[in-house]
Amino acid sequence: MPLIRRLPKRGFNNIRHATVYIPVNLAALNQFDEGARVDEVALRALGLANGRAAGIKILGNGKLTRKLIVVANKFSAQARAAIESLGGTCEAVPLKDAAKS
């Protein structure tokens, strides 16, 4: 029997262990008032972050026009630069570990 047929066809799949984030674009954050604190609760209340995932990642798509305090788990470099250029702040919070809770 050939070697390729004798080898097992099962193996490791990294998708099971990957960290999944809910993406939120900068343009969607313009719905909040000037100087507002934008966190996971506020994003879910407006329907911008739906579904189950490990955390929220702010992406740099679109143009932000307001100064905001944004609290999320991850920020892209472009999103962080855009928020801070308007005088806003980016606060990165660590992920909640499912094994500890």
> CA angle 85-89-95, nearest 5°?
130
**Among residues of the chain, what percentage have pLDDT more than 70?**
95
**Among residues of the chain, what percentage have pLDDT more than 90?**
78
Of 12-21, 47-56, 63-72, where does mean pLDDT reach its minimum? 12-21
User: Model confidence over 56-101: pLDDT tens digits?
Assistant: 999 999 999 999 999 999 999 999 999 999 999 999 999 876 544 4
Rg (CA), the chain: 19
User: What is 31-94's CATH topology?
Assistant: Ribosomal Protein L15; Chain: K; domain 2 (3.100.10)
Find how far residue 7's CA is from the centre of its chain: 39
Residue that is written with structure tokens 């909640």 in the block? 96
Q: What is the DSSP string of 24-43?
A: EEGGGGGGSPTT-EE-HHHH
Q: Delimit the domains of the chain by residue range.
A: 31-94
What mean pLDDT is predicted for residues 11-20?
84
User: Average model confidence (pLDDT) for the chain?
Assistant: 91
Total-model pTM? 0.80
> For residue 96, what pLDDT is reported?
78
What mean pLDDT is predicted for residues 39-48?
95
